Structure 1
């Protein structure tokens, strides 16, 4: 992920499919909103994968598995991008040492 310059409010998601990004994260959004957004994406994929793991054998063509993996990877990557923003914002806070 690219570094966030303090003047750049919006950072492109790494999951954008072209060199001209259209999806962004607001790096100035409140931390609880950012955390909720990341949580939503990660939990959605987790739920799908947990449901699949409870099934018996699943047989399908390799191209279907490849498409499914991409379908899961995009929201996971978006969630990780948002968590990276949260982490950077939290590390940039002044410490309140005891």
Structure 2
């Protein structure tokens, strides 16, 4: 079972940051509604991209595009999950 752990600081770095000094952060004092809206926006964008890819003919795709698509999906989904995690902790 997950236990409640208060945030160490107001700004929580996104897990998708690639550097030791994070540039993109989540404001843990943001309203739950704002956090959920931001999470939904990112997850909806990832879902829309997946739907577009599902409808495309992969014979027309270039192999070099696959890592770019995967990276975009990873960033959108990881950021969305990070936002949901902060919103979820606000409930407790």
Normalization by structure 1: what TM-score?
A: 0.80
Moved over 4 A (4+): none
Alignment gaps of 5+ in structure 2: none
Residue 62 of structure 2 is matched in structure 1 by 60
Per-residue CA shift, 1:61-93, capped at 9, x if unaligned? 2x4211210111001100000000011111x2x
Residue 96 of structure 1 is matched in structure 2 by none
Q: Give the distance between the partners of 2:75 and 2:58, measured in 1 at CA.
A: 25
Asked which structure has the greater RCO (Cα within 8 Å, sep 6+), the reply is 2
Per-residue CA shift, 1:5-31, capped at 9, x if unaligned? 2xx111000011101100000101010
Establish whether residue 40 from structure 1 lines up as the match of residue 41 from structure 2. Answer: yes
Alignment gaps of 5+ in structure 1: 93-98
Residue 15 of structure 2 is matched in structure 1 by 14
Per-residue CA shift, 1:41-69, capped at 9, x if unaligned? 000111011011012234322x4211210
Structure with max Cα Rg: 1
C-alpha root-mean-square deviation of aligned residues, in Å? 1.3
Equivalences, count: 86
